[in-house]
Chain A
Amino acid sequence: MNRLSWYLMLILLCSSGFILAQNPSKVTIKSSIHDTTNAEVPFATVMLLNPKDSTLVNYTLSDINGAFAFNNVKNIPYLLKVSHMSYLPHQQMVQVSATPVNNIGVVRVKPLSVTLMEVVVRAAKAPLRIRGDTVEYDATTFKVPPGSTVEDLLRRLPGIEVDADGNIKTQGKDVKRVYVDGKTFFGDDPKSVTKNLGAETISKVQVYDEKSEQTKLTGVDDGTKEKSMNLELKEEFKKGSFGKVTGAGGNRNNFTASDNYDRYAGRANYNRFNDKNQLSFIGYANNINQTGVNWEDYGEFKGQNTFNDYDNGDFGFGNGGMRYYSFNSDDSPLNNFDGRGFTKNLGAGSNYNYDNKKTKFNLSYFFNQTRLSLDQFTSKQTFTDSANFLNSDTLGQSNFRGNHSIASRFEKNLDSNNVIIVKANIRFSTSNSTSHEDQLYSNSESIPLNSLGMKNGTDLNSWRVTSASIFRHRFIKKGRSLAISAGYNISRSDGTDNLFSLNKFFKANTITEQIQQLKAKQNDASQFKSSLLYTEPLSKKWYWESFYNFSISNNAVNRQVQRQNTHDSSLSVFYTNDVLYNRLGTSIRYSNKGLNTSLGIAAQQLKLTGNYFPNRGETIQTDSVKRTFFNWTPNLTANYQLPHNMWLGLNYSYNIIEPQLTDLQSVPNVDNPLYRFEGNPELKPQRMHSFNLNYNYWNPASFASIGFGSDLNIYDQNIVYNQTVEVMDSLGLVTTSKPANVKGGNSFNTYIWSSYPIIKTKLTLNIYGSINTGSSPALVNNVENDTKNRGFNINIGFNITPDPKLIFNIEQGIEMNNITYSIHAEQNQKIRNYSTEAAIKWQFATKFFFESNFNYSIYRNDRFNFNRDMPIWNGSVRRILGKKNRLEMRLAAFDILNKRVYISQYGSQNYIQHTSAPTLARYFMLSATYNLRGFEDKLKKNNYW
């Protein structure tokens, strides 16, 4: 046995050695190519491929006689492939050769059917796939009307005949079988498939020879082959759905009497889509101060319609340049909680998008409501050139806001040069609030002057329709284009205010004044506007752009006041205000190699007409106010993309801002007897020079980036609110505010930010800093007071990722603001806010996550003796469950130290104030979320859309 195997092995070794010795290591492979008529085929591409994976090893061309040779190639097996534009690609194996020259004999190629070539490849631009004898082509390139069957499609395919009965023939033979995705469908009759299946479901049609049914049954090849057809179904990869539902419950919060409820939060969203349609639903309800949805949910809700390009029809300087996307912010139900009080929120909506590349359509509906209960304490210090006063204010408010909004957008590409966009939005709103407010006014020695108690109830119903259409046309001449837009907006509101105030004036004898006001107010507004933009290319780099804007606005405001149950004509007014706006502008633009710069000028005219009546329908009260403002406004923009990822921008504009309607009205508004607002019909528009400079740099190799920018505004003519503060007999401290024009004033802001990876992907330093200064002169008791702001803020943070399962973030921020007053230097304020934050995200076990953040904020104002520290600590643990990770359970603790409160410090003109308001403090919540797509069992490093 042993000996036998030795012999065998010896023989094997010898024979293999013998074979190896016989075969040369290099070989010349030669042949010539002929077609089926034995004609030589010159200039065919001949390729040697690795038979294992078809990798290209070598190639050559056949010569004028159809001959080719591969000289001195490795003597290994090859797949020889011959291709020529007039022949079906041919392939055959070339085996290892025993001789140095391997003449493989004549290679015969079959001509490619002329119909296939002309109709499929050239006319329909469809690729042909050749698999041996099978020729397959892309059915989607042959257009059939919607609703057509496969039979209709086959009638259009070259080389396939379909008779009146639906029998299919190819190359003169009957097609015996039709498969769908390789499987028999509805029995044996091919017609059952072709007559029933819709053409739009098919992506590919393959025709090939198949062994006959007889051969398949008996296993004996009778040599007959039958024509068969396979229909490949479209891969509906774009079709799908996703969604999430969350329910959460938490403990009662006993922090304040006004909000003593168990915490709850629920949220659900569901989306369905295919390649043309997107349909989504979203809904939420909570009492944890989430007044709307977050960005991520909103993006998924709006889908393809979240951002739109060219939606702005108000053409102006710089509109002809690059395209920009605008966020669809109209009535967006995004979370906008400002940090004060307690809210109960409810919202739901649906969005539908259709997009077939030529036509885009969007329709969405959203309902949202918020009920706010707020307690707020404000301390305010007001001063004049000669005195200063203190005011403490306690407000209790309950407030409801509800909106229904419907938004629609339609975009149609009429052809590649014409596009039309039509948008319309409707919104119905209702709001009501009741509040009681107690104010105590005292002089600088804290001796009370007067007190005011107010109870207000308001109701307001309103609706608004906005619409716009934009048409853009590109001319045949490259770069020449025209855009026209028109829009119509209309709104109406109707409300009542029920005001009750009790003012006590402390003197020798306390004087009490009680006022009851009932105010009915209506506001009607309509606006028509239209714009035109024309761009003419002067050369490849120079463009000339012109635009024209027109708008006409009509406003009617009716305010009828009943005081102590009798009509008070001194506070009642009906006025109309019409604004006619015209602007004609032109600019020259230069664009070349990353430099885009434009210089232009516009002439703008604003015509205001105001009429005052005692009441709607009554005769005119005073002469009409007619005012016309005309201005030239220059504009410069320059953007330069430097080499090495640097961008530099410079902008200058001269801006005119028309006075607000309420600032022009002559009849005073006295909702609060101690605060009187008087309009100024003589008011002129705000005019200012605005400069902006910015620079950005990004290093793609080190991932470091830096940017800085500066903004400077200088007012030629500003609108400010002059204040008169006086102690009036029998009333107390009364403030009167009246808008007026002043010359002068400026604001300047400069910032720098940088992100620098100290250790790539592990440790990143983030810095942000800014400096701002400003000066705003205004009259206080007829003395000019120049309020100056100077401040800076710095933020330094580190992002540390030692491991993919652990992310730390630490950040330190300082914010300082100095406010100085020219009339009262001792009132100068120094506001200081400091904050330190540390956060951790840690995946401590498979499917287990721990997240926590701690923030310590310090609010200081030495002048005001204000000193408040606020540590906020949150933490949560969550676990992903289920085979597909679809369920998430989360236990979260918010504000574990029970310290959260709303705080703000603010100083301006002739006052400084700080406000605090209770809001949600410590609570615990357990939530469960079911996600159709499943949760990821890893920490998220980045969040993008």
Chain B
Amino acid sequence: MTSNTNISTGLKRNLQQIFICIVLAFPVSGLAQKMEGSMRYLITHNWTKKMAAVDYLSKQQRDRVTYMWGNRSEWKEYSLMYFTPTMTKYEDSEERAEKDDEGYSWRKDVYTIRRNFEKSSIFDMIQLLGKVYIIEDTLRPQNWKILNDIKEVAGHICMNAFWDDTLKMQKVYAWFALDMPVSSGPERFCGLPGLILEVDVNDGAMVITADKIEMKPLTTEMDLPKKIKGKRIHEADYTAIMKKYMDERRAAEEPPFWGIRY
């Protein structure tokens, strides 16, 4: 555990150098048209698979949910990512992905995730347990393990990486592009050598897949929302809030995914 932390700090320190290196490398390469543009992710949620991953609920209870709802438990939504070699911003899209939702509008929670790789800093404005928080801190990527699979996502060849999120009880498999050297991804995932184009959490409970990538110069897309209101905290505070909530839900034997983003 300690060694992992050291490694991740080392990685963080080196991110700056790497990005300078990437910026230098790109202008001369054919592959490296300017790594700047926007991307749409399709998020597929599966409620029964989310239930199935809650280890403290009885197996019978989870099995029953699957037995009764298994094939009717999916819903979809879109999210957006803006990226440059030095910065990314991720947020929910107002566009409706679910054809049947057409005509019904849900309120989106506050969710803006910005990563600055030059300064190695994060700015996250998120809704957590009904409150808006602003997390400003240095960038700490997840402890990814690099695996051996390759596949194509949205026209890009991707490699596979794994992260075991013990806090949120999530097994995360990410596919990062080998030809998009931007060390970011959807939600709060980052720190891989390429842009994460697909994420599978808890064996299909949530799958985030890039479905539209557009290379274009960005103008104001990276700007933070005009209204920034919320409690300013650090990453450690976020972890503490989350841990307390997860522990309480475990004690109450209630699924933990209402009130927090999955």
Q: Which residues of A contact B (CB under 8 A)?
A: 42-43, 45, 47, 49-50, 53-61, 63-64, 71, 73-74, 81, 83-85, 89, 117, 121-122, 125-131, 242, 271, 273, 278, 296, 299-300, 302-304, 306-307, 309, 320-323, 325, 355, 357, 360, 416, 474, 478-479, 481, 535, 537, 541, 543, 589, 591-596, 641-645, 698-701, 703, 760-761, 933, 936, 938, 940-942, 944-945
19 contacts between A and B (CB under 8 A): A43-B25, A55-B143, A55-B146, A58-B11, A60-B18, A61-B25, A74-B10, A125-B152, A127-B151, A128-B149, A304-B67, A591-B103, A595-B105, A701-B131, A760-B248, A933-B59, A942-B253, A945-B68, A945-B69
The 5 A-B pairs with the shortest beta carbon distances in the complex, nearest first, are A700-B259, A594-B107, A127-B151, A322-B104, A701-B129
Select from chain A the residue with minimum beta-carbon distance to B192: A56
Flag whether B72 is at the interface (Cβ < 8 A).
Answer: yes
Chain B 60-82 near chain A by CB (<8 Å), digits 1 or 0: 11011101111110000000000
| Extra 20 A-B pairs, beta carbons < 8 Å, given A43-B32, A84-B178, A273-B67 | A43-B31, A55-B144, A56-B145, A56-B146, A58-B11, A121-B150, A126-B151, A127-B151, A127-B160, A128-B150, A303-B68, A323-B100, A481-B102, A541-B105, A595-B105, A645-B130, A645-B259, A700-B130, A701-B245, A936-B60
Q: Please pick, from B59, B107, B157, the residue contacting A121 in the complex, using a CB distance under 8 A.
A: B157
A63 touches B148 (CB 8 A): no
Select from chain B the residue with minimum beta-carbon distance to A325: B72
Most buried by A among B28, B58, B149: B149
B192 to nearest A CB, angstroms? 7
Q: Please pick, from B59, B105, B146, the residue contacting A594 in the complex, using a CB distance under 8 A.
A: B105
Q: Please pick, from B14, B31, B67, B252, the residue contacting A278 in the complex, using a CB distance under 8 A.
A: B67
Distance in angstroms between the alpha carbons of A309 and B259 in the assembled complex? 26
Note all chain A residues with C-beta closer than 8 A to B21: 60-61
Q: Please pick, from B148, B156, B157, the residue contacting A131 in the complex, using a CB distance under 8 A.
A: B148
A272 to nearest B CB, angstroms? 11
Distance in angstroms between the alpha carbons of A535 and B104 in the assembled complex? 12
Tally inter-chain residue pairs, CB-CB below 8 A.
Answer: 206
B211 to nearest A CB, angstroms? 13
Distance in angstroms between the alpha carbons of A481 and B102 in the assembled complex? 10
Note all chain B residues with C-beta closer than 8 A to A45: 159, 178, 181, 193-194
Note all chain B residues with C-beta closer than 8 A to A938: 58
Note all chain A residues with C-beta closer than 8 A to B101: 322-323
A107 to nearest B CB, angstroms? 16
Note all chain A residues with C-beta closer than 8 A to B260: 700
A77 to nearest B CB, angstroms? 13
With A304-B71, A699-B130, A936-B58 already in contact, the answer to whether A478 and B150 are too (CB < 8 A) is no
Select from chain B the residue with minimum beta-carbon distance to A304: B71
Q: Please pick, from B65, B100, B156, the residue contacting A945 in the complex, using a CB distance under 8 A.
A: B65
Flag whether B226 is at the interface (Cβ < 8 A).
Answer: no
Flag whether B3 is at the interface (Cβ < 8 A).
Answer: yes
Flag whether B239 is at the interface (Cβ < 8 A).
Answer: no
B215 to nearest A CB, angstroms? 16
Distance in angstroms between the alpha carbons of A787 and B49 in the assembled complex? 54
Select from chain B the residue with minimum beta-carbon distance to A131: B148
A128 touches B151 (CB 8 A): yes
With A60-B18, A85-B178, A127-B150 already in contact, the answer to whether A55 and B145 are too (CB < 8 A) is yes
Distance in angstroms between the alpha carbons of A595 and B59 in the assembled complex? 38
A901 to nearest B CB, angstroms? 36
Flag whether B224 is at the interface (Cβ < 8 A).
Answer: no
B150 touches A89 (CB 8 A): yes
Distance in angstroms between the alpha carbons of A537 and B143 in the assembled complex? 46
A593 touches B107 (CB 8 A): yes
With A56-B144, A273-B67, A320-B103 already in contact, the answer to whether A127 and B149 are too (CB < 8 A) is yes
A158 to nearest B CB, angstroms? 14
Flag whether B7 is at the interface (Cβ < 8 A).
Answer: yes
Q: Please pick, from B68, B130, B253, the residue contacting A304 in the complex, using a CB distance under 8 A.
A: B68
Distance in angstroms between the alpha carbons of A321 and B100 in the assembled complex? 8
A543 touches B103 (CB 8 A): yes
Note all chain A residues with C-beta closer than 8 A to B245: 701
A591 touches B7 (CB 8 A): no
A306 touches B144 (CB 8 A): no
Distance in angstroms between the alpha carbons of A933 and B60 in the assembled complex? 8
Note all chain A residues with C-beta closer than 8 A to B60: 933, 936
Flag whether B99 is at the interface (Cβ < 8 A).
Answer: yes
Note all chain B residues with C-beta closer than 8 A to A699: 129-130
Select from chain B the residue with minimum beta-carbon distance to A319: B103
Note all chain B residues with C-beta closer than 8 A to A59: 18, 192-193
B105 touches A307 (CB 8 A): no
B145 touches A54 (CB 8 A): yes
A483 to nearest B CB, angstroms? 12
B151 to nearest A CB, angstroms? 4
Most buried by B among A45, A589, A645: A45
With A130-B149, A130-B150, A321-B103 already in contact, the answer to whether A761 and B130 are too (CB < 8 A) is no
B159 to nearest A CB, angstroms? 5
Note all chain A residues with C-beta closer than 8 A to B179: 43, 85
A355 touches B71 (CB 8 A): yes
Flag whether B29 is at the interface (Cβ < 8 A).
Answer: yes
With A58-B10, A61-B25 already in contact, the answer to whether A309 and B72 are too (CB < 8 A) is yes
Q: Please pick, from B31, B107, B160, the residue contacting A643 in the complex, using a CB distance under 8 A.
A: B107
Chain B 76-100 near chain A by CB (<8 Å), digits 1 or 0: 0000000000000000001000011
Select from chain B the residue with minimum beta-carbon distance to A296: B64
A307 touches B72 (CB 8 A): yes
Select from chain B the residue with minimum beta-carbon distance to A73: B10
B49 to nearest A CB, angstroms? 12
Most buried by B among A117, A128, A271, A537: A128
Note all chain A residues with C-beta closer than 8 A to B129: 699-701
B157 touches A42 (CB 8 A): no
A535 touches B72 (CB 8 A): no
Q: Please pick, from B32, B102, B181, the residue contacting A537 in the complex, using a CB distance under 8 A.
A: B102
Note all chain B residues with C-beta closer than 8 A to A481: 102
